[in-house]
Amino acid sequence: MKRKTVVYLDKPGRKGCPACLEAAAERAAELGVRHVVVATSSGRTGLEMARALRAAGSRAAVVGVGYAANFAAKWGRLEKRFTAPAEKLGAVFIAGTHALGGVNGAVRDRFGGCATPGNLIAGAYYTFGQGMKVAVEVALMAADQGAVPTDREILALGGTAEGADTAVVLSPACSQDFFKLRVHEVVCMPR
């Protein structure tokens, strides 16, 4: 049996982001994790994660996952003022169809509240908080695009509205292989 510290934030959202990034960077360094996936609408959280990793002595590569085009038009696109300095630290940025939304969202919107598999899975992860659902989803999206390997553990971070408030160690999978994804440990989450 191993004992590890989990960082529990008082509230979800941006305020807990610095503590979440620090905890994730420390855990990445401890485990020797090579990839950290982080949800980032503008690229800011991706840049902050890359800096936190370097401060913790980790050389893990950051994969920043932005919104799909339809959501980016509403909620914000990746911005060069954040992505350019992050890329100098080795980060890459991707965007794509939301793994737990996509076609499921179209069915829900067309037929009014229909419970699709993606909605049910997302709902189950929401019981741990929005950040948990987002962390899993961006790991799926990154795996779908080949930005992270599926044969080793990574860290995945998600948040509630803005910033990261949840960090987990997981073995990613492509969306098609969703049930092969495994969450191994929680590093940080809101209480």
Per-residue pLDDT of 15-43, as tens digits, reads: 999 999 999 999 999 999 999 999 999 99
CATH number for the domain spanning 135: value is 3.40.1380.20
In a domain, 2, yes or no: no
In a domain, 173, yes or no: yes
If one counts the domains in the chain, the total is 1
Which residues have a Cβ under 8 Å from the Cβ of 61 and sit 6 or more positions away?
A: 34, 35, 36, 90, 91, 92
In a domain, 1, yes or no: no
Strand order in the sheet with 61-66: 7-9, 182-190, 166-171, 154-158, 35-39, 61-66, 92-95
Q: How confident is the model at residue 63 (pLDDT cuts 50, 70, 90)?
A: very high
Q: Calculate the dihedral angle through the C-alpha atoms of 158, 79, 60, 126, rounding to the nearest 10 degrees.
A: 10
In a domain, 162, yes or no: yes
**Which residue has better confidence, 98 or 125?**
125
d(CA 28, CA 17): 16
d(CA 122, CA 178): 12
In a domain, 178, yes or no: yes
In a domain, 145, yes or no: yes
**Which residue has better confidence, 172 or 73?**
172
Chain position carrying tokens 């990839």: 35
pTM: 0.93
In a domain, 39, yes or no: yes
Domain extent, residue 170, equals: 7-190
Per-residue pLDDT of 89-124, as tens digits, reads: 999 999 988 778 766 777 777 777 677 788 888 889
> Half-sphere exposure of 96 toward its Cβ, with a 13 Å CA cutoff?
20
pLDDT, residue 91, reads: 97
In a domain, 95, yes or no: yes
